[in-house]
Structure 1
């Protein structure tokens, strides 16, 4: 395996991060040596798919299916990021545990009960991405043990905004790797094999 790849530095996502929004383009084929931004879903070009914390978890899952994504940014009415929710969060054990903990029926579980909050998230600065390669992104995802990594940029008036994200599944597709639905460990093993080729 090529040992010249390294995880990109991450840092805590700020509590006042917002979401940048724009319109879409298709993802190009990449190699591990390709610039990292070629594997990034750029929210300045592709609309962010979002949910609110009060949305029913099952409704959020339907939104993911409809949009063809496996992660929603959880935002408030001002587009401030409050967290993220993944298909795995909704289809896994979290809703059952939340229903038991809250004493509510499973179908009353909301996104806020199963999401990862801002305080649990890390982000990569866009300027770091601009000087990194796809192989570095794979190493970053592997190190974090997460299927997704958020990318942020500083705003002119202060604060920051989520301007992109990396998805292990998307990176795998762009690398031409068949990514397994069995979970992060299997996905990372498949991506790592692509780096070694």
Structure 2
């Protein structure tokens, strides 16, 4: 029987009695420190990035992070075509909002993403060509050197324009290395990653 569009419904299939498992994107494979770096990168051609508009409130951003189970949001412009910056859970929950509220003489709940985000002009990125040749250890070293929990990866798209290709997250790397993650205590997480590297 056809519906109004003239298309037939798809046939149904049963769920295996042994259970239906989640694909690799939900359960990334374990890695070691010399594994290719791309194995711990969130490839934005495969996984859509969680984003938010710069004009959204910080409370909106916090709710969005909780709902999506992420600690980083890509901040986009009104057209949703250009990267305006990055917002991490530390930007939302740390001292930045307190300082921004004092600077703008407003209450915290009146602050917007644009008030505390890391703007695109201040963002450093890794080049996808370097990442393709790198190992997990290089990414850990890069994150630690910058004192950041995330790094973005850029490259050229088919039109030769710079585009966002991927994101590295210290917490995802730690998960894939089998290291305990300490929320908002990245120094401790890095220390444990280094212990794994050293074979301690």
Q: Paired residue for 1:155?
A: 157
Q: Which has the higher contact order (CA 8 A, sep 6+)?
A: 1
Q: Paired residue for 2:33?
A: 32
**In structure 1, C-alpha distance between the alignment counterparts of 2:82 and 2:193, rounded to whole Å:** 32
Quote how far apart the aligned CAs of 1:183 are. Answer: 2.1
Deviates more, 1:175-184 or 1:124-133: 175-184
Quote how far apart the aligned CAs of 1:119 are. Answer: 1.5
Q: Paired residue for 1:177?
A: 179
**In structure 2, C-alpha distance between the alignment counterparts of 1:187 and 1:162, rounded to whole Å:** 26
Q: Which runs of 5+ in 1 are unaligned?
A: 1-23
Q: Paired residue for 1:119?
A: 121
**In structure 1, C-alpha distance between the alignment counterparts of 2:184 and 2:165, rounded to whole Å:** 28
User: TM-score, with normalisation over the residues of structure 1?
Assistant: 0.85
1:83-94 to structure 2, matched below 5 A, reads: 83-94=85-96
RMSD: 1.3
**In structure 2, C-alpha distance between the alignment counterparts of 1:124 and 1:139, rounded to whole Å:** 13
Q: Paired residue for 2:17?
A: none
Q: Which runs of 5+ in 2 are unaligned?
A: 1-23
**In structure 1, C-alpha distance between the alignment counterparts of 2:183 and 2:171, rounded to whole Å:** 9
Quote how far apart the aligned CAs of 1:109 are. Answer: 0.5
Q: Tell me the SS of whatever aligns to 2:30.
A: coil
User: TM-score, with normalisation over the residues of structure 2?
Assistant: 0.83
Structure 1 moving runs of 4+ over 3 Å? none
Quote how far apart the aligned CAs of 1:172 are. Answer: 0.1
